Amino acid sequence: MTNHFTKVLQLMSGLIDERLNERKMGNHTNGDVLDSLLNICPQEIDRNHIEHLFLDMFVAGSDTTSNTLEWAMAELLKNPHTLEKAQEELAQVIGRGKLIDEADVAKLSYLRCVVKETFRIHPPAPFLIPRKAVEDVEFCGYIIPKDSQVLVNIWAIRHDSSLWEDPLDFKPERFWESDIDVRGQNFELIPFGAGRRICPGLPLAIKMVPVTLGSILNTFNWKLHGGIAPKDLDMEEKFGITLGKAQPLLAIPVPL
């Protein structure tokens, strides 16, 4: 893992060097995040911090999104009726074989339900990001001492039968007529956290996941590798900072 991070840091360093060279030649009109950080470097932030900040952004954005897409495909292949419904909706609304774009997502109600249900049953970060109490806090009768690390166990919330009917079952239909959303307003579904420190990647994820998932569902049929029956697909979880699949999904795209 350390070697992988080192390679990514080297890549980030190369990108920064490239941008610095462009700025020296007067080509510095991108106005993106990197330009903004370089504008305050080294007075408020040094280069090492910039490199590690982009490492955080890269790892957090790519790992969680790829895990979510893998879980969504695994659940759809394990539950063929949901896969069929999602593909039928795509065929009717978009047209079979076409890629979808961001504007299409609002018209794909069942696909959005599939994404919500994936976030519910397989939250990308099962304990969110650790927080620290800056002072003694009383919460629901419990005293949380100053400097305590606080974790939100959303993995347990998704198992709570008082909040969800058949919580272990993958049922996108549960969101069909529900106003529950993933944006931090409904505490039974907070895969990105809530409040002022909600995950900054939320806007990207809620656009990127349905667009990518919808496109791969609409351009191929899919089957499990090795003739595995859907009911026999291994769905064991691998715990870590992100919630991955213990056994990587092996799925075969079949041309339409």
3-state helix, strand, coil in the chain (%, to 5): 50, 10, 40
Q: Is 112 within 8 Å of 86 (Cβ atoms)?
A: no
- Give the three-class secondary structure for 235: coil
Sign of the torsion formed by the C-alpha atoms of 155, 159, 160 and 164: positive
Helix axes 80-93, 202-219, angle to 10 degrees: 90
Q: Is 212 within 8 Å of 69 (Cβ atoms)?
A: yes
Is 199 annotated in a binding site? The answer is yes
Q: How far apart are CA 68 and CA 17, in angstroms?
A: 33
Helix axes 109-121, 202-219, angle to 10 degrees: 120
Q: Is 96 within 8 Å of 236 (Cβ atoms)?
A: no
Any bridge partners for residue 144, and if so which? 137
Per the annotation, binding residues for heme are: 199
Residue ranges of the annotated binding site are 199
